[in-house]
Amino acid sequence: MIETITSIQNAKVKKWQHLTTKKGHQKFHQYLVEGWHIVGDAITAGQPVVQIAATAAQLEQHQADFPNNVEQFEINDEIAKKLSDTVTPQGIFAVIDILPANHVTPDTVSGAWLLLDRIQDPGNIGTMVRTADAAGFKGVVFGKGTASRYTPKVIRSMQGSQFHVQLTEGDLTEWVNTLKDRQMPVYGSALDEQAKDYQTVTNQADFGLIMGNEGQGMSADLMAATTINLYIPIKGDAESLNVAVAAGVLMFQLNHDL
């Protein structure tokens, strides 16, 4: 049975709004996603989707693909606009449970891992997660100071790749030290030409790659702790590359076929 909601003052609508905030995530252990592309990817990936709210048009178009046990709500355009983080709402939203993570620790991981050091821009985070997905990385570690993976702009910018790679939060210093103890190299990214040209590195199956803050780069402590710091030679007059572009270059170089 589908419940129809017509008022933006409805308690469920207010809760859904709250699920776009950090306090809401912490209180309810749930978050909200918008748009059929991401909702559909979440369903396909077997994510714990517990509620779907959609306009009549979106229900008619996609209802056949909803899981059997999901609660369904029909909402109007006014509510969709209230819940949306975009100028033009798509009219379909899903509430997803935040489950206790299968504890991902540097003691047991394998493959290629991207470590984000205080990355703030949602677009950069999304691009890096999508590129990690495309480049065959196993996962992405959100270090302290990096924007939350559950905020609407970050969710939207990841475009469903968050369901294809492992995402976790972690202490990057612990990750770096543990990976190195396990003989897994950890590469930093630096503008300093005393760093090593990224094209000269012999790729390995298991490693970590750190990308640092948009304005400040990697923290000094992490820079000093890495196995090797890499730089991408600039051929033109640009001062530097966007962090997500640089991450893409490095990820595909380091994780190409052995």
**Residue 258 pLDDT greater than 60, yes or no:** no
Give the three-class secondary structure for 64: helix
User: Which of 153, 254, 178, 161 shows the shortest CA–CA distance to 211?
Assistant: 254
Q: Which residue ranges form the domains of the chain, and what is each CATH number?
A: 2-97 (3.30.1330.30), 112-254 (3.40.1280.10)
Residue 118: what pLDDT?
A: 97
Mean pLDDT of 189-214: 90
Residue 40: what pLDDT?
A: 97
128 falls in which pLDDT band (50, 70, 90)?
Answer: very high
CA distance 228 to 230: 6
Cβ pair 157, 122 in contact under 8 A: yes
pLDDT digits (tens, 9 = 90+) for 144-175: 999 999 999 999 999 999 999 999 999 999 99
133 falls in which pLDDT band (50, 70, 90)?
Answer: very high
Residue 250: what pLDDT?
A: 96
Identify the residue with better confidence: 190 or 222: 222
Helices (H) and strands (E) in the chain, counts: 10, 12
Q: Give 24's contacts (C-beta < 8 A, 6+ positions apart).
A: 15, 17, 18, 30, 31
pLDDT digits (tens, 9 = 90+) for 205-237: 999 999 999 999 999 999 999 999 999 998 898
Mean pLDDT of 6-25: 96
pLDDT digits (tens, 9 = 90+) for 35-45: 999 999 999 99
Q: What is the DSSP letter of 115?
A: E
pLDDT digits (tens, 9 = 90+) for 60-95: 999 999 999 999 999 999 999 999 988 899 999 999
Is pTM beyond 0.75? Reply is yes
